[in-house]
């Protein structure tokens, strides 16, 4: 598995743990819902800026978001 798929699985797992829809989560991140979907599918090479937005939406640090990846 590659890093894009690992990040996608991690984002999906955290989002589902919090019972967030992709729509709601995308609003928290200020990112498009289709962008979140493509991240979760491992199709996006996510920028560090957007990873930070995602981490903040989960109330995590970047290192916590990327833990075990």
Residue extents of the structural domains in the chain = 3-65
For residue 24, give every residue at least 6 positions away whose Cβ sits within 8 Å of its Cβ, in sequence order, or none: none
Judged against a pLDDT cut of 80, whether residue 32 lies above it is answered with: yes
Phi-psi region of 53 (alpha: psi -120 to 50; beta: other; left: phi over 0): alpha
pLDDT band at 1 (very low <50, low <70, confident <90, very high): low
DSSP class of residue 32? -
- Per the CB < 8 A criterion, the answer to whether 20 and 28 are in contact is yes
What is the pLDDT at residue 50?
98
Q: In CATH, what number does 3-65 get?
A: 1.10.260.40
Q: Identify the band that residue 5 occupies on the pLDDT scale cut at 50, 70 and 90.
A: very high
Indicate the average pLDDT of the chain. Answer: 97
Closest CA to 3 of 44, 38, 48: 44
Query: Please, which pLDDT band fits residue 21 given cuts at 50, 70 and 90?
Result: very high
């Amino acid at each position: 598995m590659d890093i894009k798929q690992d990040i996608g699985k991690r984002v999906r797992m955290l989002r589902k743990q919090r019972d967030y829809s992709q729509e709601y989560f995308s609003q928290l991140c200020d990112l498009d819902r289709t962008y979140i979907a493509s991240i979760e599918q491992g199709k996006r090479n996510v920028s560090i800026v957007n990873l930070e937005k995602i981490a903040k939406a989960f109330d995590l640090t970047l290192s916590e978001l990327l833990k075990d990846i």
